[in-house]
Structure 1
């Protein structure tokens, strides 16, 4: 039997993490939408789902997430997608575009286990594009969410 860490590593290595992650997002949104519809007061329910770096790198990520939300009826403004710190430390232009498009849908982004990666925020490479305003990127430390990251006057978030 594989533990969670070994399972995720194997899924990453084999590429299975992308279809598995899509399945998890769809199942979670469907279940949460059912709770919202069937349990009085559950309309305030927020859902957080982790995305692997390989999922974030998929060209069709935004289309996939959007179609899952439409299919399940789960509202985008009640969804938080958690990405690893490594995704924002050295993002490419396409990744920044995908993350911005998700935020434009009303989805909140959170950095999972913020501050635990081997590289720190100040270790971002020269020319790394900033994650810009318009939504929020919330750092998560361990499993406890913290306040949204502050923004500079130009809208660049200090993540």
Structure 2
């Protein structure tokens, strides 16, 4: 074996192991964030956003209303369509992407769904899908503290 291969081979093996460790850490962080959102909200579903409307509020904020087709409900009332709102700083863009996502939402006393904040929307990854298959969210302990 040449000297350059003896030097490069351990580097490549080390690099490959580092990439795997990083991917596992990223998956773990993603899953922990999702579990936290599930525990602290009343509604969890996989949705496909179909439309967003923006309204200027009197308090200097904008209200984005998201309309979505519900692809699967994991926690809360089964729905076919949903709309939920979020309040943002005036002029903040509404991000529209029709790729399905998981959302964790709050439901107020009037049945209005709202976005509780950063950390409540997740890409529909295989890691989250596998965890959802193994767990019945309606049977899990829930504090719903993000919704108080």
Bigger relative contact order, structure 1 or 2, given CA contacts below 8 A and separation 6+? Answer: 2
TM-score (norm 2): 0.23
Structure showing the higher helix proportion among its residues: 1
Bigger Rg, structure 1 or 2: 2
TM-score (norm 1): 0.22
Structure showing the higher strand proportion among its residues: 2
